[in-house]
Structure 1
Amino acid sequence: WLMACAFGMAASYALGLMTHFLPLAKVGVLALIAMLVTMVCRFYRVGPPGSLFFVMAAAIGAYTPGTVEEIPLRVGLLTMGALLASLIAFVYSLQVLRLQPADAVPPLQPPTFDFVVFDSVVIGAFVGLALAIAQALQLDRPYWVPVSCLAVIQGVSLRAVWNRQLQRVLGTAIGMLFAWWLLSLPLDAWRIALLVILLVFVIESLVVRHYGLAVIFITPLTILLAEAATLGHAPLAELIASRFIDTLLGCVVGLVGGICLHSARFRTLFGNPMRRLIPRQPPS
């Protein structure tokens, strides 16, 4: 499964990098990635964050400046990182198995059309819509809009969607202040790498306890990952403000998508026509 995730991450990032040179395809490709990856994650009952980081990789790639010749190098570097992570997890798993026996793998629940197909199509559509709105508003490199939308719309209930929206907006606001302070420090490549390590450690420790607290540290992490090569080229206040606007817009679109996703009327209106597209199985 880790190798599959590594491949999916590399493929998502590669597609995102390619769409940087095909601006008209960005919305469709990102929506398709969100839809397909969400389908796979839901089919195999992958827990949170699900498809979030695959879409984040694609979105960051779509707005990363560069040349066509640099695509293989960048995809290769990301693939090496993903494979290294898989290797570390594999070695760690072997160590854990030496100390305690493996738990039995529970059988997967039977996939349903609504959970796997319909929800994924709606999520992909709203992720694409979020990016389309951001592009229509001519936001500067709005990679964070569809990511914020996806993070909110994935709530398991309408209450969870609303709570996630509030936590993400408040966490991002505080995280922006934290990021402002971090980015005002004298940073070089080694210090940025150290900051990324520390932030990832804190995020992994907090995300299972409180999503809002984790977002405070996710915000500077994503800025460092996406903007590391261009830090100092633009006013810091402008960068922080634009990321907050991106988050706010994405959360609003995600909230609307969550309301639709958990609306029985919406599901009936659009779900039934989608079911008719599926060929009926012949009687056995």
Structure 2
Amino acid sequence: MSTIYTLKHAILSHSKSFFVLKNNKRAWHIPLLASLCVAIPLFIGLYFDNFPMALSASIGGLVILYYQPTISLGSRMLLLLICSFGFALSLVVGLIFSFNPYVSSVVLGFFAMGINWVTTYFKTKPPANFFFIMIAAMASFQPYHLALIPQKIGLLVLGSMLACFLALCHGLLTMNKVQTSDALSITIKKGDFVSVVDSSVIGVFIFISLLIGHFFEMQNPYWIPISCLAILQGVSRKHILERMVHRIAGTFIGIGFCWVILSFFDSPISICISIFILLYIAESLIIKNYALAIIFITPMTILLTEVGTSFAANTAVIIPARLLDITIGSILGGIGGWFLYHQRFKNNAIKQLRKTRVVIRKKF
């Protein structure tokens, strides 16, 4: 009886959290800036009738999500340039090793481990490791064409450059309106193997997610590692569970919303406008309520990642596939979160790493 009561209480608690909006002092023009950075390349691609290239550039525009308007203008531009380099590196790693699905899965697992360690070490603010690993995962499922790699990198860098330019314009326009700190604060997190264990868990589950997508030859299965990683962003075991429930439930609603959009707005111009509006709403909600934001993020990302294909004619195939991928990834993320915040597991792993370090020091 107590188990049923606990389960009922948990369901009610998660249901109520869908309608709770947190206080947020984020300026309205920050989500607008993010929407412009992603949408402008799409409109340019629409004008030149080349959506695939525009898609690569718009992905580069996502670097604007690392923009920090509370630090000095020089520091925020430096941060964006560093993240732009990270985006390009992530794309290179994903594309170069996409020639073999199993090699790619192993490399991306280690890459995710390394990126998480770096962002944790320097205490990088959210979205932290997310978009670096996301870009690498998406690139790993693209067909391997060595001659096209420089072109794809160039397009992504152009999108990042556009985002940096728009961020500079925003900084100059709001220079006297926003209170900022003097410089970029880089805080190094010092821990005894804690970040190594966390990074290893994330790397292993990204590897498993990629391997599942490759093994079952799913259509655009990069949604599995992306969803897994999104859940692993939780800061506690309870938060992990909450994000998993919210992502799956939000995805169900968002998928339905996407079907409605594709049923009534299937022209290229309407799709570009829909992406712009959905991203603005999602960025406005992401801090206030993650579950509500997912409802808009889901159709936005489906439209964005499928924009260069004939997805409008294959809605009956695309939507169930995305729903399956996101659900599998979310469940894997929930399992990974159990390891991330299981204290006994972490303590045993740290002890083993310490013993290994002592053995290595004695030998060398």
Residue 110 of structure 1: how far off its partner (Å)? 3.7
Residues 176-255 of structure 1 correspond to what in structure 2 (within 5 A)?
176-232=255-311, 235-255=314-334
Unaligned residue ranges in structure 2 (runs of 5+): 1-78
Aligned positions of 1:101-140 closer than 5 A: 101-103=179-181, 108=187, 110-140=189-219
- How far, CA to CA, are the matches of 1:58 and 1:90 in structure 2? 27
Task: Specify the code of the residue in structure 1 equivalent to 2:294.
Answer: V
Match of 2:94 in 1: 16
Match of 1:165 in 2: 244
Contact 1:64 1:226 in 2 (8 A): no
1:48-100 deviation digits (Å, cap 9, x = unpaired): 22211112212222223473322222221111111211222233223333334
Larger Rg: 2
> For residue 81 of structure 2, what is the aligned residue in structure 1?
3
Corresponding residue to 1:260 among 335, 339, 346? 339
Q: Answer yes or no: is 1:94 the counterpart of 2:169.
A: no
Q: Distance in 2 between matches of 1:151 and 1:101?
A: 31
Distance in 1 between residues matched to 2:143 and 2:229, nearest whole Å: 23
Amino acid across the alignment from 1:170? A
Does the CA contact (< 8 Å) of 1:42 and 1:115 recur in 2?
A: no
**Structure 2 contact 227–330 (Cα < 8 Å) conserved:** yes
Inter-partner Cα distance in structure 2 for 1:96 and 1:270? 48
Paired residue for 1:57? 135
How far off is 1:248 after superposition? 0.9
Q: Which letter maps to 1:251?
A: S
Name the stretch that deviates more: 121-130 or 163-172. 121-130
Residue 191 (structure 1) shift: 3.2
**Matching of residues 79-90 of structure 1 within 5 Å:** 79-90=157-168
Seen in structure 2, the aligned counterparts of structure 1 residues 242 and 82 have a Cα distance that, compared at 3 Å, is: same
The reply to whether residue 31 of structure 1 matches residue 106 of structure 2 is no
Residue 210 of structure 1 and its aligned partner are, at CA, apart by 0.6
Q: Which moved more, 1:80-89 or 1:58-67?
A: 58-67
Deviation of 1:126 after TM superposition, in Å, equals 1.1
Instruction: Letter of the 1:161 partner, please give it.
Output: I
In 1, are the aligned partners of 2:87 and 2:135 still within 8 Å (CA)?
yes
Give the match for residue 68 of structure 1: 146
How far off its partner does 1:188 sit? 4.1
How far apart in 2 are the matches of 1:241 and 1:210?
25
Residues 184 and 2 (structure 1), Cα distance of their counterparts in 2 relative to 1, 3 Å cut: same
Contact 1:161 1:258 in 2 (8 A): yes
The range that moved more, 252-261 or 177-186, is 177-186
- Aligned pair in 2 of structure 1 residues 69, 110: CA closer, same or farther (>3 Å)? closer
Q: Following the alignment from structure 2 to structure 1, what is the Cα–Cα distance between the partners of residues 196 and 221?
A: 27
> 2:127 aligns to what SS in structure 1?
coil
Task: Determine the C-alpha separation between the residues in 1 that align with 2:281 and 2:305.
Answer: 19
What is the CA distance between 1:136 and its match in structure 2? Answer: 3.1
The alignment partner of 1:113 has SS state of coil
User: 125-134 or 15-24: which moved more?
Assistant: 15-24
The change in CA–CA distance for 1:101 and 1:186 in structure 2 (over 3 A counts) is closer
Distance 1:130 1:113, change over 3 A: farther
How many residue pairs get aligned? The number is: 282
Q: 2:176 aligns to what SS in structure 1?
A: helix
The residue identity in structure 1 corresponding to 2:105 is: V
State, as a whole percentage, how many aligned pairs show the same letter.
Answer: 34
